[in-house]
Amino acid sequence: MLTLRQIRTDKEQTLLRLAKKGVDAAPVIEKIEAADDARKTLQQELDKNLAEQNAIAKQIGLLFKEGKTEQANALKARTVELKEESKLKEEAMNEAIEQIDALIVTLPNVAAEIVPAGRSAQDNLCVRQGGEIPALYQGAVPHWDLCARYDIVDFELGVKLTGAGFPVYKGKGARLQRALINYFVDCNTAEGYTEIMPPLMVNEASGFGTGQLPDKEGQMYHATLDNFYLIPTAEVPVTNIFRDVIVEGKDLPIKLTAYTPCFRREAGSYGKDVRGLNRLHQFDKVEIVEVASPENSYERLEAMVAHVESIVRSLGLPYRILRLCGGDMSFTSALTYDFEVYSAAQGRWLEVSSVSNFESFQANRLKLRYRDENRKTQLAHTLNGSSLALPRIVAAILENNQTPEGIVVPEVLRAFCGFDIID
């Protein structure tokens, strides 16, 4: 979340950068300022009361020594009044603090200066494109037909077992899935990321720490009896490793990677854009997470983008990298790059990765700090990226590599798969 200091000392820039996301934050910030002014006034009154109580305590001792009992008792009565006043003021100040906190968490992260203006995906900026869009043979079909033809993903069986959006991978489809997971994790560990195997359910504090709660509770599966949430991404448990932690500046950046299944309700999703593997309620994803110092976080963001790009390129998939406009960014992000691969049989681009810098937004919620070279503590920056999400990668591989003889497996995956073609 934003810091109170950020809001009060850099109000105009905060308003401008939130406006980039299409948020008119002025009414909320006015309420925050009013509550903070009230808090400051109450704190001054409490300090004044405490000073008076301390002064009275000294006077009472002297009066008793001088035998002026009546005057001493009168001052003692005043002390009781001051304590009662202070109690009421403390309660009012705590209410003001709670009001400030409740208002601040409703504000999204501010957009970075280089975020393009815009309201929707149509306003995103393509910063780079690579690979060649394949010319498919006559009779090529979308991946959902290929899945049925080669019996590698069974959507109907998933409906029987659970519901729509929970596919069953079979035979070479399951093997391809494991191959991609292992390949992605190996690419990440080779780049210096430490592998983590986190829980697949998190508590409410973890959901708050990374910004899923209270913003996205409607998109998360909730185990109400235990008040646990199925994770929408490994970002949540992995980043929360650092909740209430002070790390040493010399250890930054800290780089972690994790493979997990991910669970998203995706309420309201329907139509042709969600057919097959295009949008699922359960899917596999490999994630990278970094904790960095503020002065190096954007350098680390570019390094993460380059790393994800190298993986996509190695799969032989046509891709493009988009810098998201303010209106298409997430609640928590300061700057996001989306990766899309081209699905030849569907004739459209499919998002397969988001790589984001959250600056100190998550760190403030997490109370994640680092100790700098002067031994002072300050908020760290957090970053994360999909490296990569599997369903649409699989869709693009199946569609783009289909031939009359079968689906050719990308060369880098063959050692992991144990076969060269799905036929």
| Annotated binding-site residue numbers for L-serine | 233, 264, 287, 384
Give the separation between CA 58 and CA 240, rounded to whole angstroms: 49
From 240, 233, 234, 244, select the one nearest 210 (Cα to Cα). Answer: 240
Give the separation between CA 362 and CA 13, rounded to whole angstroms: 19
Give the separation between CA 36 and CA 8, rounded to whole angstroms: 9
Give the separation between CA 355 and CA 188, rounded to whole angstroms: 14
Give the separation between CA 399 and CA 389, rounded to whole angstroms: 17
Give the separation between CA 148 and CA 398, rounded to whole angstroms: 12
Enumerate the known binding-site residues: 233, 264-266, 287, 351-354, 384
Give residues with Cβ within 8 angstroms of 9, minimum separation 6: none
Axis-axis angle for helices 171-190, 390-400 (nearest 10): 120
DSSP percent split of the chain into helix, strand, coil, nearest 5:
45, 20, 30
SS3 of residue 285 by DSSP: strand
Residue 333's alpha-carbon distances to 38, 46, 72, 142, 185, in angstroms, are 31, 39, 61, 33, 24
Q: Per the structure block, which two tokens stand in for 144?
A: 């959902």
Size (the chain), residues: 423
350 preceded by a cis bond (ω within 30 of 0):
no
Enumerate the known binding-site residues for ATP: 264-266, 351-354
